[in-house]
Chains A and B, each alone.
Chain A
Amino acid sequence: MRVWVIMLALGIGTFFIRFSLIGLLGKVRIPQRVERAFRFIPASMLSALVISQLTSYASSAPSPLTNSYYLAAFVACGVAWKTRNTLLTVFAGMVVLWLLRAIGM
C-alpha cells in the first residue's frame, strides 16, 4: 500500500516536472543562476546514491581493500569513465565480482 502511495505521488510529481514549463506556454524563464545550479544535480545526486548504496556492502569483508564488492565497483568505475557505456560498466563489475568470488575472496 505504502509503495503504491509513493508511486502515485512520484508519477504525478514526475509528470508535473515534465509538464511545468510546456504547460506555462513558455512564458516563464528559469533564472540563469538556477539553471546553472541544475547542471550539478545529476552528478551530485547520483554520486551520493552510489556511495550510500556501496556502504551497505561493507560488512562482507574485514578491510575495504579486500572487499570484493568494492574492488568490483572500482573496476566498473574505470570502465564507466573510459567507455561511458552502461551495459559494459555493469557487466564488467559483475564479472569482476564473480571472478573474485571464484578465487575465494
Chain B
Amino acid sequence: MRGVQAFLPLLVGVVPFGLITGIAVSQTGISPNDGIIMSLLVYSGAALLVALQLIQLGTPILITILSALMVNLRFLMYSASLAPHFQKLSSRWKILLAYLLSDQAYAVSISYLEDPSNQKTGHWYFLGAAIAMWLTWQGSLFLGMVVGVNVPPGWSLDFTVPLTFLALAVPTVKDKSTLFSALVASLAALLMNGLPFKIGVVIAAIIGIGIGAMVDEWRSS
C-alpha cells in the first residue's frame, strides 16, 4: 500500500500522458478495443506508437519490431538495477514484477529498495506502485482512444502523434552530449528520409547513439 501511495503524486503526469497517447494511437486507425489489447500485450506507450506508425507506413515487419524494441531498451537498465533487489524472489514474482516494470514504478521505488532496512517489503512496495501505474496507464489510454475516435478529422488530431514524440524527445536531452547525439540523429534522419520503409530512422538513431558515446568517451578521457 505504501508503494501505491508513493505513486499517487505521479498521477498528475501519467493521466494526461495516457490520454494524449491514447488519442495519438486512435489516429493510427486502431479501434479502442484492439488498442487496449495491444497495450496489455506491449505495455509501453512509446513502443506501441512507434509500431503503429510504422505499420501504417507499410514498413517491413522486422524493421518495425526492431525500431519499437529499441525505444524499450532502456528497460534493460532498470532490469539491471532492480535485479539484486529481486534476487531472492520466486520465478513467479520475478515474471510479474518484470511485466509491470515501468519508468514510473522504477522511479518511485528505487530509493526504497536501496534502503537495506526494507529488504523484506521491497517487492511489495514495488508491486503496489507498479500496479497503480499499470491501472492508471491502461485506464487513461483507453479513455484517450475513445475520445480520439470521436473527434472530427478537421481538428487534425493526427498531428498529436509527432507532437507526443517531440514532447518525449526533448526531456531526454539532459546535457551537451545528449543534445549533440540528438542533433546528429535528427540531421541523419533528415538526410536519409528518402530511404524506403523508414529504415533511415533506425540507422539515424544508431549513428546518433554511436557519435554520442564516442564524444562522451573522448571528453571524459
Nearest-CB residue, chain B, relative to A26: B83
- Name B77's contact: one of A35, A87, A94 (CB within 8 Å): A35
B residues less than 8 Å from A84 (CB atoms)? 170-171
Binary flags per residue of B1-44, CB closer than 8 Å to A gives 1, else 0:
00000000000010011011000000000000000001001111
Nearest-CB residue, chain A, relative to B157: A94
The A-contacting residues of B in range 198-221, CB under 8 angstroms, are 198, 200-202, 204-210, 212-213, 216-217
Question: Does B164 lie at the interface of the complex (its beta carbon under 8 Å from any beta carbon of A)?
Answer: yes
Q: How far is the CA of A105 from the CA of B209 in the complex (A)?
A: 37
- CB-CB under 8 A for A22 and B97, given A17-B75, A48-B185, A76-B166: yes
Question: Does A8 lie at the interface of the complex (its beta carbon under 8 Å from any beta carbon of B)?
Answer: yes
The B-contacting residues of A in range 1-47, CB under 8 angstroms, are 2-3, 5-11, 13-15, 17-26, 29-30, 33, 35-47
Closest approach, in angstroms, between the C-beta of A40 and any C-beta of chain B? 4
Taking each of B76, B84, B159, B163, which has the highest tally of chain A beta carbons within 10 Å of its own beta carbon? B163
- CB-CB under 8 A for A50 and B186, given A14-B44, A36-B216: yes
Q: A19-B79, A37-B213, A47-B208 are in contact. List 7 more A-B contacts (CB 8 A).
A: A9-B61, A40-B216, A50-B162, A52-B201, A80-B167, A90-B160, A97-B159
A residues near B (Cβ < 8 Å) are 2-3, 5-11, 13-15, 17-26, 29-30, 33, 35-55, 57, 69, 72-73, 76-77, 80-81, 84-87, 89-90, 93-94, 97-98, 101
